[in-house]
Structure 1
Amino acid sequence: MPDPTNLPLPLFLSQTLHTLLPILNDEQPLSSPAAQAILAEGLDDLYLVARMITSLGVFSENEGVEELGDGELVFMATGWILGEVEAKTGLGGWDERMACLRRSDTAYSSFLQLISAYGVLSPEEQAESSAMADSTSRAAPRDPAQKREAKIRQYKREKELREKISAALPGQVDSSSHPVTLLIALLPSSPTHNARSSTSTSVNPEPDAHTRENTLLLLRLLHTLTLASLGHNTMELELLASAPRDPAASSSGSSAPPREEENDNTWRLDRSAAGYRPRELISGGGRVLRPFTILPSTSQLSDRERLKGEVFRSGHRLPTMTIDEYLDEEKRRGNVITGGGQASYDAPTNSELLALEAENDGTMRGDEADEERLLKEEYWAQYGELNKKGAGNTTNRG
């Protein structure tokens, strides 16, 4: 079998797209190892095509679209193909997926810059492409009404361009065909996917008169699809940024830099609340030293309520203290009065206990209690003689 890299560049690109088409067209499961192997091999071929285009100097910043030949226009879609294939790879873990999405964004952005520089787009499309080139405007409009209007405009433009291309290539593609199918229709037939004939290796010897117009329509269609794909990549990157990393990757001791979100706590109201003790939150005089949240008692908290509290938690990270911890701290500070109630009312007084112990005749403790009771009664008798009733009321005698 001849080396495919020895083929002319259009045939090499066509053969690569023929190989990738079943996966891009969702005819094969994307998660299967065979599909990922085909995508990896296809990416190597596509990056080789991109390097060959750069080394041959097919595109230049000083040219316009009118200066490009009909066969060169189709290679402007190489960046879009790379972005599309990169977005379908990287299913092996968090780090791999993030890297593939970033490479996909880079490829999409290079495609937008190329077709914008050559003036392929209409004024409205050019304005959208310029806004998308700004990294701060990468995301879709925040306002729901503007977001809906942008999606409607993109859908209408995509439908219109698909119908024009389908009408220009009757019998080859239809309006629902995958864009890669449209690209293949504009490239020469690959010898491995065409009937054996003496003309199968010729490079599009007789291009159609409308090939250039169809290629420009296809590039505008890919521009519209790129805007939607960049929005999808942005949303997935945001989800991955807030998701935990792969445990296997984190335990392997890789030297990958930690995510920015794990180190950036500037948006938090406080540092981690796990290190605070109750006495660091409330002073000895009862003054609150630091804002904190009182949680329900853990002994009375059901599993359902506990799991709900862990999921639907607030955005801030204040120190927390359960009811049990709060009461223990109040007891330590002496602010909790124990006793009282009916049990305290029914309990015997000290005098009654002393009288009961004094009734134990013949015992040492009974004699001591009887002596103590007599001394107490003598003390109160003397106190009554020395302090007559009303003797201390010298303020309001009348």
Structure 2
Amino acid sequence: MTTNLPLPQFYSQILSTLQPIFDDTLPLSDPSTQSTLTSALDNLYLIQRMINSLGVFSENESIDEVGEKEIVFMSLNWVIGAAEEKGGLGGRDDRLSALQRAETAYTSYLEILNSYGVLSPEEQAESSAAASGQSSTPKDPAKKREAKIRQYKREKELRENIANSLPNQPESSSSPITFLLCLLPSTSNRPSVISASTGSTSVNQEDPDEVSKSTAILILRLLHTITIASLSSISMEMELLSNAPASIVPLSDRDPREVRREEEDNTWKLDRQPSKYKPRELISGNGRVLRPFTILPSTSDMSDRERLKSGVFKQSWRLPTMTIDEYLEEEQRRGNIITGGGQASYDAPTESELLELAAENDGSALAEEKAEQKRLKDENWARFADENKKGAGNTMNKG
């Protein structure tokens, strides 16, 4: 890609397109945002190649030898790292690659600051530890908390000093991109800056030469503080991604037999691990739970929406599952469900009535047997009534 703009204005134009993304006014998941980010990164790498070919920076120089118009380009590697950190949303491998590029850019930014002696001794120690891949954050929780508080106070102080020293006095909470734009010549598409003192909105038309070199160094130190925190966050995220499963291969590139086998496995939610229990043996004969399981709602009463929802919002692990219908069927098989009752049970004849009906069939052996059973039953009841007077057992609630 070629451009007719001078290098400072070209850099300013790229930062202006990135400012809404760094201000979190555009969602990162939006394809148009990622497209803008990719285009901006291509231009940033182009500027990086141009600066390297021109030899703008040298290891033998100090910060005092850098011109006021060149010092802003020392932030280029930080902008590349921050932009790479916001990309890579295409999957695990894509995210890992983006984080690795961001880590490389951040490390290059720390190296150039150390080379030119921009940082204080404390900041230089943190920068050297981060550039060598060692965490500058202590392992001890108390010391780790103190280090984060110290880092937060330093960042807050730097932001306030930068906001007070810039001509248009932007908010101290503004993104670093806003501070960098104050060091560059304005472009036609430069976003407006809101003044913290008056609350009015104006386009930054100030000459960048009016911004002192000390203010530019404060901005570089602010970016250094942000870089230390970003490198720590990148390290933790890369460790998590390295332990995560690999990205899913498209179905078109996979073996049809493997896809069919996975579909068959997904129809049954039991873990395919060897176990001494069969799938149905989740509860022992005496009611003891043999292995964890989940009771699901009856599939016959679920709508398509509920069924799809239950297939999406579920545990990230696999557990043996059992629907309510299957659970009731298993309990009925084990004899733990009592049937009967209700109006049908009320209308059914009693045992005495059944014996009386059977005894009415005169002349049969079954009738004589039932008549004898009814006589013995009545006799036993009469004997019990004689031995136990009415109310004899009612000792608590007499009456």
Same fold (TM over 0.5): yes
Q: Confirm or deny: 8 A CA contact 2:129 2:136 kept in the other structure.
A: no
Aligned length: 265
Q: Confirm or deny: 8 A CA contact 1:4 1:12 kept in the other structure.
A: no
Change (3 A) 1:43 1:302: same
Q: Output aligned runs, 1:194-209, within 5 Å.
A: 207-208=209-210
Q: Confirm or deny: 8 A CA contact 1:187 1:204 kept in the other structure.
A: no
Hey, what's the Cα distance between the residues in 2 that align with 1:250 and 1:226? 40
Q: Select 1:47's aligned residue among 45, 48, 51.
A: 45
SS in 2 for 1:246: coil
Q: TM-score, normalised by structure 2?
A: 0.60
Give, in angstroms, the shift of residue 245 of structure 1: 1.7
Change (3 A) 1:298 1:85: farther
SS in 2 for 1:163: helix
1:75-108 per-residue CA deviation (whole Å, 9 max, x = no partner) reads 0000100010001111111110010011000000
Change (3 A) 1:276 1:177: closer
Q: Output aligned runs, 1:1-398, within 5 Å.
A: 5-135=3-133, 137-138=134-135, 140-193=137-190, 207-208=209-210, 210-248=211-249, 252=253, 299-300=282-283, 301-304=291-294
Give, in angstroms, the shift of residue 145 of structure 1: 1.6
- The residue that corresponds to 1:262 in the other structure is none
SS in 1 for 2:90: coil
Hey, what's the Cα distance between the residues in 1 that align with 2:191 and 2:171? 20
Give, in angstroms, the shift of residue 211 of structure 1: 2.1
Hey, what's the Cα distance between the residues in 2 that align with 1:228 and 1:250? 39
SS in 2 for 1:147: helix
Change (3 A) 1:55 1:224: same
Q: Confirm or deny: 8 A CA contact 1:105 1:233 kept in the other structure.
A: yes
1:328-363 per-residue CA deviation (whole Å, 9 max, x = no partner) reads xxxxxxxxxxxxxxxxxxxxxxxxxxxxxxxxxxxx
- The residue that corresponds to 1:271 in the other structure is none
Q: TM-score, normalised by structure 1?
A: 0.61
Hey, what's the Cα distance between the residues in 2 that align with 1:277 and 1:161? 61
Hey, what's the Cα distance between the residues in 1 that align with 2:140 and 2:280? 43
Give, in angstroms, the shift of residue 125 of structure 1: 0.3
In structure 1, runs of 5+ residues without a counterpart are 196-202, 254-273, 279-293, 313-398
In structure 2, runs of 5+ residues without a counterpart are 193-204, 255-271, 284-290, 296-313, 320-399
Hey, what's the Cα distance between the residues in 1 that align with 2:216 and 2:114? 15
SS in 1 for 2:3: helix
- Structure with max Cα Rg: 1
Give, in angstroms, the shift of residue 12 of structure 1: 0.3
Give, in angstroms, the shift of residue 42 of structure 1: 0.4
1:199-222 per-residue CA deviation (whole Å, 9 max, x = no partner) reads xxxx986711x5211100000000
Supply the RMSD in Å over aligned alpha carbons.
3.2
Hey, what's the Cα distance between the residues in 2 that align with 1:51 and 1:250? 40
Change (3 A) 1:275 1:58: same
